[in-house]
Amino acid sequence: MDRRFRFLTGVLAALFFCCPVLRAADWQAEGLAPSDVITCDALHDLFAPAQRPLIFDARDKRDYEIAHIQGARLPMSDAFYRELELYRNGILPSQPDPYPALASSMAGVSRDVRVAVYCSTNCTASAELVRELKRLGFAYAQVLDEGFQAWVEKGYPIEPNPNHSKEEESRVAAFASTAKG
């Protein structure tokens, strides 16, 4: 496990240095106010159990399964991700609608809860998810500025999957080498 963890951390650090990162001005271009953005340091400061926000990973499920911020979860149900995979494999004729899936997964969650959402560098999925959460009444939804790679670079806690396959390791490594140019 230690070898894979070091490998994953190294790949993510390489991605951090070679990929452009969305900054505050970019988030504003995505329709978010400065108060809709939280820094890695500010989110990490909220890791005390009494203050810990709900953390969503807006990246692809496969990336989430390789590693994610400690305590993070995917925003939609497993059924949504199964249907999405069936669509990607050409079995279902249309992509599942994420908006009702999100509304369903958030049913019963207090609208007063603080929510932090992240994705990868140069990714706007987290901004879209925050906008939708706000539309659903979650006033304290925020995007993690600079994304997952910045979190890893700062050495903050992540949960790597010790059982991810060599194929997944290769996919991450291939992505990293492509991103380097």
Please report the pLDDT score of residue 118 as a whole number.
96
Q: Write the CATH number for 119.
A: 3.40.250.10
- Please compute Rg for the chain using Cα positions: 16
Q: What is the DSSP letter of 59?
A: S
What is the chain's percent helix, strand, coil content, to nearest 5?
Answer: 50, 10, 40
Rounded distance, CA 4 to CA 156, Å? 17
Measured over the CA atoms of residue 117, residue 120, residue 122 and residue 125, the dihedral's sign is: negative
Is the separation of the CB atoms in 53 and 43 below 8 Å? yes
26-35: per-residue pLDDT in tens? 665 567 788 8
**Among 19, 61, 75, 86, which residue's Cα sits nearest to residue 164?**
61
Is residue 38 situated within a structural domain? yes
Residue at 83 is within a domain: yes
Residue 166, in any domain of the structure: no
For the entire predicted model, the pTM comes to 0.74
**pLDDT score for 22:** 47
Residue 69 backbone dihedrals phi, psi, to 5 degrees? -60, 140
Tell me the residue range of the domain where 137 lies: 21-161
Mean pLDDT of 16-29: 48
Give how many domains the chain has, as a whole number.
Answer: 1
For residue 165 the two structure tokens come to: 């396959």
DSSP result, 67-126? EEETT-B-SS-HHHHHHHHHHHTTSSSSPPPHHHHHHHHHTTS-TTS-EEEE--TT--HH
Q: Report if residue 151 sits inside a domain.
A: yes
Residue 175 falls inside a structural domain:
no
Among the listed residues 52, 24, 13, the one whose alpha carbon sits nearest the alpha carbon of residue 151 = 13
State residue 29's pLDDT score: 58
Are 74 and 61 in contact by the 8 Å Cβ rule? The answer is: yes
Compute φ and ψ for 135, nearest 5 degrees: -60, -35
Assess if residue 168 is contained within a domain: no
The answer as to whether 70 is a domain residue is yes
Residue 71, pLDDT above cutoff 80:
yes
Residue 63 lies in a domain: yes
Mean pLDDT of 17-42: 67
d(CA 138, CA 56): 13
